[in-house]
Amino acid sequence: MTPRAWRSGLLTLGLLAGCGGSASHHGPAPHPLTGGAAGDPTGAAGENPTTGGAGPLAGGGNGTGAGVATGGGGAEDTDGLGGAAVAPPLTLPPGCRARTPTETADLCSLGVDCNTAPSVRTYCHRLDSGRWDCQCANQERELRLENAAGIQACALAAQLCSDQNLDLGAESCERTSEALDQDRCAVELACAKPITLDATTDARAWLMNFGGVRCNRDDLNSPFACTCSKGALTSNYSLLAAGSELACGPFADFCLSGTTPVFGTDEVCLPGYFDTSSEGCQGFAACGRQMRLTDQVSLAQLADRFASCTSHPGGGSDCSCSDQDSAFLFQLSTPPNDASCESSVSNCNPNAVIKTTAPARCEPLAVDRNGDQCRGALSCVQDATVDDRSIVTQGSLVVVCGRNGPGKPWLCSCASQQETARVELGAGSASANDLQAFTQGAAACRERIGIRIGPSGDPIEPPDPFP
C-alpha cells in the first residue's frame, strides 16, 4: 500500500470514527505484469509477504494490530491516545509530543511535533504476516516492524525516522513475486537491513528498500530492454536471452548484487535489416560488447551500426560502415547486395584486427599553390584484411607546406585521420618550388605516420607547419 493509499484510508478512518463506525482493510491488489513501477512497495510489502521463518522478510511476529480509530477524528494535540486510559504511553524522541494519533486494526497514522527537530508524520499498515510496514511523510525511509502494532508501530517509526544515525546490519534481499509471458517478465524485490534497537524492547525493525526488474522486447529478434530499480535508483540495460523465462532470473540476481557491469571485448551483432536495390545495398544491425550472466543470458552495450555499398567501376563494391562515432571506407570484390552490407557491418568492430598486405597506392588530388605556401592531399588505396576478410582500404593524407620567404627552408605538416606530424625539408629545399615542396613533404609524412586506415572519427586538420 502506498503512502497516498494509506492517507486515503486514514481519512476514511477519521470520518468513520466521528460517526461511531468501524473500518475494514482490504490488502492491495497484486502487481500486474505491466502495472506500477519497479520499487513500488504495494506488491512486495502488502500482498506478497513471505510466510514462516524468522528472517526480516518472513511472516510471524506478535503484533495483532487490534484497535479502533482514536482521537475523535484527530483534531487536537494529545500526549496519548485521547481517552484510551489503558493504552501504554507512546515512546517518542526527546522533546517531542504526539499529535492526531489515528488507529484501526490494520492502519495507523501519527504526527510528532518536536522542540529541536523537524516534525514528522508516520503512516503504517499491517501485513498479512502480522508485521507492520511504515513510512515517514517527510522522508524516503520505509521500515518494517515486528512486535510493535498499531499506534505503537507509528511511534516507533517516528523514532527511527528522526534518527539520522541508525545502526544498520548487512542487507539481505529476496524475490517477492514473479510474472512473465512470451516477451515480458517482471520480478519484484524486497531488501532489508536490520536496525539495532534499544535492548529494553522486544520490537525488531528493518530499513526496507523495495525494487524490481522488468524486461520486454518488441519481437523474437530484438534484445530485451530491462530496468533494474532499487529504491530511488534505476538503471537501464539491454539483455540478450532466447526467451523471457531465461531473462529476468539472472538479471534480478545481477540487480540485487549492485555490481557495476564489466563488458568484455568480444562483440556480438544481432540480425539486422538490409535492403538491396539497383543503386546498391544499405542497412543496419545492433552491435556491441557483452557481459555474460549465464551461458544463455548476457548484458550488452548495443548501438546501431550502418553499412552501405554501391557498384565500383570495373566490378566489386565501394562500401562504408559507420556508427555514432566513426566511419570506415573500403572496397569489396563482391557486388553490392545484402551479404555485402552485412559483412561490411563487422568491419567497424572496434576490436577487429586490420592488417595491410601491400604498400599503399596513392594519387595526389588538386594542390593549391601560392608561391611560398601549398596545400594538397593524397588519395590512397591499400590491400588489407579485417579479421582475415580481404578488402581494399581507402585512406588519405593531407599536407600543408610553407616557408618564410624565398631562400628559406620549407616546413610541412600533415594529417591522416587523427594522426599528425611536422617535418622540415631542410636547407636543401630552399630552391624548391611549392609543388616540389608538397611532393617532398608528402613523402616525408608517409614515412613518418603512413596512411592511417580503419574506423575513425572525423579527420582533423594538419597543425600549423610553423611551430
Of the listed ranges 28-32, 51-55, 458-462, the one predicted with least confidence: 28-32
pLDDT at 87: 60
User: Please, what is the average pLDDT of the chain?
Assistant: 81
Instruction: Write the secondary structure of the chain as one string of H (helix), E (strand) and C (coil).
Output: CCHHHHHHHHHHHHHHHHCCCCCCCCCCCCCCCCCCCCCCHHHHHHHCCCCCCCCCCCCCCCCCCCCCCCCCCCCCECCCCCCCCCCCCCCCCCCEEEEEEEECCCEEEEEEEECCCCCEEEEEEECCCCCEEEEECCCCCEEEEECCCHHHHHHHHHHHHHCCCCCECCCEEEEEEEEEECCEEEEEEEEEEEECCCCCCCCEEEEEEEEEEEEECCCCCCCEEEEEEECCEEEEEEEECCCHHHHHHHHHHHHHHCCCCCCCCCEEECCCEEEEECCEEEEEEEEEEEEECCCCCEEEEEEEEEEEEEECCCCCEEEEEECCCCEEEEEECCCCCHHHHHHHHHCCCCCCCEEECCCCEEEECCCEECCCEEEEEEEEEEEEEECCEEEEEEEEEEEEEECCCCCCCCEEEEEECCEEEEEECCHHHCCCCHHHHHHHHHHHHHHHHCCCCCCECCCCCCCCCCC
The residue-averaged pLDDT of 395-406 equals: 94
pLDDT at 86: 52
122-177 pLDDT per residue, tens: 999 999 999 999 998 866 788 999 999 999 999 999 888 888 888 999 888 888 88
Q: What percentage of residues in the chain have a pLDDT greater than 90?
A: 54
312-359 pLDDT per residue, tens: 998 999 999 999 899 999 999 999 999 999 999 999 998 899 999 999
pLDDT at 437: 94
66-78 pLDDT per residue, tens: 333 333 333 344 4
The residue-averaged pLDDT of 403-419 equals: 94
Kindly tell me if the per-residue pLDDT of 19 is higher than 80.
no
Amino acid found at 296: Q
pLDDT at 104: 93
The residue-averaged pLDDT of 13-34 equals: 35
Residue that has been written with the C-alpha cell 523471457 in this structure: 244
Domain ranges (residues) in the chain? 3-180, 267-286+295-352, 361-449
The residue-averaged pLDDT of 392-419 equals: 95
Kindly tell me if the per-residue pLDDT of 191 is higher than 60.
yes
Q: What percentage of residues in the chain have a pLDDT greater than 70?
A: 80
pLDDT at 21: 36
Kindly tell me if the per-residue pLDDT of 36 is higher than 80.
no
The residue-averaged pLDDT of 95-112 equals: 90
pLDDT at 334: 95
pTM for this predicted structure: 0.61
Kindly tell me if the per-residue pLDDT of 26 is higher than 80.
no
pLDDT at 137: 80
48-100 pLDDT per residue, tens: 333 333 344 443 333 333 333 333 333 344 444 444 445 677 888 778 888 88
pLDDT at 138: 67
pLDDT at 380: 96
How does residue 443 score in pLDDT terms, banded at 50, 70 and 90?
A: very high
pLDDT at 13: 44
How does residue 215 score in pLDDT terms, banded at 50, 70 and 90?
A: very high
pLDDT at 222: 87
Kindly tell me if the per-residue pLDDT of 291 is higher than 90.
yes
Where is pLDDT greater, at 78 or 232? 232
Of the listed ranges 265-269, 289-293, 309-313, 460-464, the one predicted with least confidence: 265-269
